[in-house]
Amino acid sequence: MRILSHADERSIDYIVVSDDQTFDQTFKSYYHPLCFYALKFVGQEDAEDIIEDVFLKLWDKKKVFNNPEHLRAWLYQAVHNACLDFLKVSKRAAERELNAFRSESNVDDPFSHRIIEAEVFGEIYRALNELPSQCRKIVHMSFIEGLSNREISEQLGLSEQTVKNQKGRGLLILRKKLNRNTFLLLLLLIYMK
Amino acid sequence: MENGKEIHIERIIYLLSARIEGKLSDEEQAELERWVEESESNRQLFDNLANEVYRRSVLSNWAPPAAEKLLSRLKSRIETKKRIRFGARISVAASLLLLILFAGYYFLAGNKGADGHITADAHSDLLPASNKAVLKTGYGKVFVLNNQKQGLISAQSAAVIDKTDSNAISYKGEGNGLINVHTPLYDTLSNPMGGNNYRLTLADGTKILLNTGTVIRFPEAFGSAGREVELINGEIYVEVVHNDKAPFRVTTNGLSITDIGTHFDVSAYNDDDAVKTTLAEGSVRVQQGSSSFILHPGQQAVSGKQNDKIYVSDADITGTLAWTTGLFHFDHADLKTVMKQLARWYNVEIVYEGQLPSVKITGEIYRNLKASEVFEGLNYLNVRFQVEGNKIIVKDK
């Protein structure tokens, strides 16, 4: 069963994360975006632990999700709650005095904006990682690491023309996969260097 | 029928993209600027998405191998768990967390499908609570705190009053705030319905968080007789700086709560039937007439306003304190309970039309959302919410 929410995959009736393949794919798709979100509240190591626990829960509960968005919302909500619980427990008395009402001062914080941000990056990340391997490597070096065609061709021992072709191919696939605006953002990422 | 925020965000991404491409018209430029100015969070999102270095730095940190490594660690944990459980089948608790979706979710998936209809009237909406607290000092001076600049507000009496944050004021007295005053001046802090949580630090360092629709009266400095604060209406969360010689006390509706080193929550809204005292940490004595109890952490005392009876039970701490972290929290709540909270937060009246469906609502949702976004979260209910002026009309779909 596919999990990503691309246009051609809307025919799913429901999702149960009960087999290895679905579970693994969900984890790989959401690990980084969720981590990005959790880092707003906690440090890197704690974020990793929190996300692990959330996925354990996901596995244990065999919960039924109506659609990919439902699953996604559940994941963010679970990570959010786990982070808040973690903050409550971890604060020692002294810290408590200093940071009294710290969680409260987050009231105005843009949780939903942060999720949107995580998911904009998440969509790009997922789409990139679904590219065929050489194509992905080249797209990554070019768009994320900011290397020129020449630099890539030297590093990979390919002709510049091959690099160009693979990049074009990658973009074509990405255009199909990404929602128009996310794609536009990716293009900006590409051409603004 | 479209979710306003959803269109909004997509529009913003478009504007952002156009801006970076240099294709933005003057009108669009103005539109974008208006949106950015609207809130701090908008500015943050704008800055982040517009910043190409930032975008690249985020994505370059997202390495697939890191995810794979953690996945295999997780898998081995699952394997271990399976082995332990074998033979001792644990029935998974049937506590299904009903999930309330965030607004803005669907824009990415572009999901505006058949089930994307929204029940709220798109034309009238209610903004979440904002800072509205008003301080009235014993001298009779009234400060609308949102109009005050950060910093010193008043230093007229025994205590110095500072505005320490957009939603916080602080009293500072001499020493530990326990000066010898014979007739202390009493100040009143009102956080009206529709007012965002407000923080107050008393002269002795005790911190009080005021929920929306809360009024408290407190001395500017504390005399040696003790420290007493009156909760006139609403709900507070108190973190007491303990002092053996001067017990801290909250009184409300003939009830008194005396701290023995403590963090606790008192809810005493005038339109509720009972006063609820919930203890998060430490210990308090709850007293009303001839009844008296000592609460232990995690317990809640419910005292009726009509009699002296006090009932003590285990509390849902997370639920009770959800408001202090900016959340509405419902656990099998009926519609009326939910609407009562919304009424306070959005400062509106609730009107029920037709038969009220008997539903139980469980879940959490952020308080800093527009009413329409909260309604969207409740979309799974067979209920229609409509905003008209300062009323929310609730009826069958």
State both tokens at B124: 């009238």
Mean pLDDT of A127-148: 83
Is residue A173 very low, low, confident or very high in pLDDT (cuts 50, 70, 90)?
Answer: confident
Q: Are A87 and A2 in contact (CB under 8 A)?
A: no
B31-64 in b/e form (b: 16+ CB < 10 A) is: ebeebbeeeebbebbbebbbebeebbebbeebee
Nearest alpha carbon to residue A10 among A2, A21, A18 = A2
Do the beta carbons of residue A68 and residue B109 sit within 8 Å?
A: yes
Chain A residue at shortest CA distance from B368:
A108
What pLDDT does B6 receive? Answer: 44
Q: Which residue of B has its CA nearest to A82?
A: B318
Contact between A52 and B64 using a beta-carbon 8 Å cutoff: no
Angstrom distance (rounded) from CA A188 to CA A21: 33
pLDDT of residue A156 exceeding 70, the answer is yes
**Is beta strand B207-210 parallel, antiparallel or unpaired with respect to B227-239?**
antiparallel
Predicted structure pTM score: 0.48
Question: Which chain A residues are within 8 Å of B206, Cβ to Cβ?
Answer: none
Q: How far is A179 from chain B (nearest CA, A)?
A: 7
Kind and range of the H or E element at A20?
helix A20-38
pLDDT of residue B191: 93
Q: Residue A126 — pLDDT band, cuts 50, 70, 90?
A: confident
DSSP A35-77: HHHHTTTS-HHHHHHHHHHHHHHHHHHT-EESSHHHHHHHHHH
User: Would you write out chain B's pLDDT as a tens digit for each of its 397 residues?
Assistant: 334 444 455 676 677 767 766 778 888 888 888 888 887 777 877 787 777 778 778 888 888 888 888 888 888 877 765 544 332 222 222 222 222 222 223 223 333 333 333 344 445 788 888 888 988 887 777 888 888 888 888 776 667 888 888 889 998 876 555 555 556 788 899 999 999 999 999 988 899 999 999 999 998 888 766 789 999 999 999 999 888 888 899 999 889 999 877 899 999 999 888 999 999 988 899 998 888 889 989 999 998 877 778 889 888 888 899 898 888 888 888 888 899 999 999 999 999 988 877 777 877 788 888 888 888 877 777 788 999 988 999 988 7
Distance CA B21, CA B24 (A): 8
- Answer whether B165 sits within 8 Å of A110, measured CB to CB: no
pLDDT in tens, A67-82: 777 888 889 889 988 8
Confidence of residue A128 (pLDDT cuts 50, 70, 90): confident
Distance from CA of B283 to the nearest CA of A (A): 15
pLDDT, residue B182, reads 57
Q: What is the pLDDT of residue A2?
A: 32
What's the gap in Å between the CA of A159 and the closest CA on chain B? Answer: 25
- The DSSP output letter for B299 is E
For chains A and B, what is the number of CB pairs under 8 angstroms? 173
Q: Which residue of A has its CA nearest to B323?
A: A104
Contact at CB, A181 and B40, closer than 8 angstroms = no
**Reported confidence tier of residue A182, pLDDT bands at 50, 70, 90:** low
Residue from the list B97, B103, B113 with its beta carbon closest to the beta carbon of A112: B103
Alpha-helix residue ranges (DSSP H) falling in B87-233: 106-109
Q: Which amino acid is at A26?
A: T
Residue of A nearest to B166 (CA): A105
Taking the CA of residue A148 and the nearest CA in chain B, the distance in Å comes to 15
Contacts with A182 from chain B: Cβ below 8 Å: 13, 108
Q: What is the mean pLDDT of chain A?
A: 74
B16 interfacial to chain A (CB closer than 8 Å) = yes
Q: Which residue has the tokens 């420290």?
A: B227
CA distance B220 to B383: 47
Taking the CB of residue B86, how many other CB atoms lie within 10 A of it? 8
- Residue B110 burial (C-beta neighbours within 10 Å; 0-12, 13-18, 19+): middle
Please name the member of A63, A81, A111 whose beta carbon is closest to the beta carbon of B366. Answer: A111
At B24 the three-state DSSP class reads coil
Residues in chain A with CB shorter than 8 Å from the CB of B102 are: 73, 76, 111-112, 115
Classify residue A185 by its DSSP letter.
Answer: H
| DSSP state for residue B369 in the 8-state scheme | S
B 119-158: CB under 8 A from A: none
Contact at CB, A77 and B165, closer than 8 angstroms: no
Q: Do B325 and A104 touch (CB under 8 A)?
A: yes
Place of tokens 């786990």: A82
Residues 219-278 of B with CB under 8 A from A: 239
